[in-house]
Structure 1
Amino acid sequence: MSTKCNIPVIDLQDFPNQSSKLIAACEDWGCFRLLNYQQALPETLMIEMKTVVIALFDLPVEIKRRNIDVIAGGGYVAPSPKIPLYEALGLHDMTSCSGVDGFCAQLDASPHQRDTIMRYAEAVHGLIVDIGKKLAESLGVKSENIGFENWTCRARLNKYHFSPQSVGTTGGPMHTDSGFLTILQDDEGVGGLEVKNKSGDFVPVDPWPGTLLVNLGDMATVWSNGRFCNVKHRVQCKDANTRVSIASFLLGPEEILEPLSELVDDDNPRVFVPTTYEDYRKMRFSTKLHAGEALALLHTLSS
């Protein structure tokens, strides 16, 4: 239990009392455990979704390879010499029926599977927007002026093929998420996820049923004018069992994203130039800077 408590814990049903604790978690860690979210995302739906995800990964590889995406590296990822233990499927737009239908058509998903994915996507989108609003309101910003509801939201289904021979190796390299906010439905039985704290140490994020992990990405650092931490994380193989997780990403607006005007003044000058998520993602991809280093390319001349 001690390792679980290293990560800040936020009670979704205790706002605005949790506001200062939420901001501290974002500044000091860039991640937090979320409790009491089940009204938005029921545990039964999470179990149903994991069952669907496991079935999709059990499909023949020729079917999984149909999972192509509109962005490079966003569709099916097969195990490779660089990441031999990792496999993934990508759903680019989880907020639209057409996005879900396209994903399901690629993988010959059944009507029941499609219904489960659609219900899960709607529930997670509502939850991730609610968290975004609470972040804004905790900073004293009017959330209705931001329009989180219209930001792109995508999902990545992850499978780690851990075995006795792979224990002690890396399942997934250290990185930050390029988007704004990530909700992770982690494997409730198999650990391995680690986050890097401000001291530079990796802290285990052990399985904790009944919680979700929320990570902040690079766009949250830009949006907060450098105030929020974009958490570095990785997956290590510590258990010889298959590990499955579901990550849902709130990426950013289609238009320009820049530091909140409320967080910029004479004492806190603007740190980052305006950008779009897509331009930033392409820059990360082309420079191969995947652990937050690409943010330095957005620094203003005065910073």
Structure 2
Amino acid sequence: MYAQAIRELAVDIAEKLAESMGLIGNVFQGWPCQFRLNKYHFTSQTVGSSGVQIHTDSGFLTILQDDENVGGLEVIDKSGAFMAVDPSPGTLLVNLGDIATAWNNGRFYNVKHRVQCKEARIRVSIAIFLLGPVEGAVEAPTELVDSEHPRLYLPIIYEDYRKLRVSKKLQAGEALALLRSHS
């Protein structure tokens, strides 16, 4: 029940993001989600190390229910510095991934982040990833492309993009540069 409710929330947030950009419709209704439980076994030997390397999420949108007792999530701000995202009881964290950056034609950005081991404790988080369409390519809607905002990315098939990231070991959004439009 939780997975279904949070999936519906992810789609609803994506639809509201599209509406905020003047787009109407059920663009994200058929897009699959991935549900993941993350468990980190931090020990005194791992304090100060990365639990998860710097990365962006490959899909469209992520909703994270972070561990309310153990911090460690960090995002990179505009200056390139890491900023801790302290856990806050009863909240969810939403961030955009690479597919969202391509879909919205660069108007919103994917978020580089990592998990750092801050203390010797078990850390648990729950994430749902709204990925990309099963069929067809993702590209910026024509309403988001104009003379001031030329098309930035070639059409992207989500599964091909995910494989490209893995094969090239480009985990922090760099794979998007390989799909830049030259028009």
Same fold (TM over 0.5): yes
CA displacement 1:154-205 (0-9 Å, x = unmatched)? 1121111112222111111000000000000110100000001111011101
- 1:150 is displaced (CA, Å) by 0.6
Counterpart for residue 69 of structure 1 = none
Give 3-state SS (helix, strand or coil) of 1:143's partner: coil
Give yes or no for the alignment of 1:132 onto 2:14: yes
CA–CA distance in 1 between the matches of 2:7 and 2:38? 19
Task: Give the 5 Å matches for 1:264-275.
Answer: 264-275=145-156
Unpaired segments of 5 or more residues in structure 2? none
Task: Give the 5 Å matches for 1:78-117.
Answer: none
Give yes or no for the alignment of 1:142 onto 2:21: no
Give 3-state SS (helix, strand or coil) of 2:13's partner: helix
TM-score, L = length of structure 2: 0.97
CA displacement 1:36-91 (0-9 Å, x = unmatched)? xxxxxxxxxxxxxxxxxxxxxxxxxxxxxxxxxxxxxxxxxxxxxxxxxxxxxxxx
| Paired positions, count | 182
CA–CA distance in 1 between the matches of 2:150 and 2:46? 47
Give 3-state SS (helix, strand or coil) of 2:45's partner: helix
Amino acid at match of 1:142: I
Which residue of the other structure, out of 170, 174, 177, is the alignment partner of 1:289?
A: 170
CA–CA distance in 1 between the matches of 2:16 and 2:160? 27
Unpaired segments of 5 or more residues in structure 1? 1-118
Q: Let me know the Cα RMSD of the aligned residues.
A: 0.9
Which residue of the other structure, out of 128, 131, 155, is the alignment partner of 2:35?
A: 155
The percentage of aligned residue pairs carrying the same residue is 65
Counterpart for residue 112 of structure 2 = 232
Give 3-state SS (helix, strand or coil) of 1:151's partner: coil
CA–CA distance in 2 between the matches of 1:253 and 1:268? 24
CA–CA distance in 2 between the matches of 1:256 and 1:236? 34
CA displacement 1:100-135 (0-9 Å, x = unmatched)? xxxxxxxxxxxxxxxxxxx11111111111101110
CA–CA distance in 1 between the matches of 2:67 and 2:44? 18
Give yes or no for the alignment of 1:192 onto 2:72: yes
Judging by fraction of residues, say which structure has more helix: 1
Which structure has more relative contact order (CA 8 Å, sep 6+)? It is 2
Counterpart for residue 253 of structure 1 = 133
Judging by fraction of residues, say which structure has more strand: 2
Larger radius of gyration: 1
Counterpart for residue 122 of structure 2 = 242
- 1:222 is displaced (CA, Å) by 0.3
CA–CA distance in 1 between the matches of 2:11 and 2:174? 27
Amino acid at match of 2:5: A
Give 3-state SS (helix, strand or coil) of 2:18's partner: helix
Give yes or no for the alignment of 1:123 onto 2:5: yes
Amino acid at match of 1:129: V
CA–CA distance in 1 between the matches of 2:25 and 2:16? 8
CA–CA distance in 1 between the matches of 2:173 and 2:131? 15
Give yes or no for the alignment of 1:182 onto 2:56: no
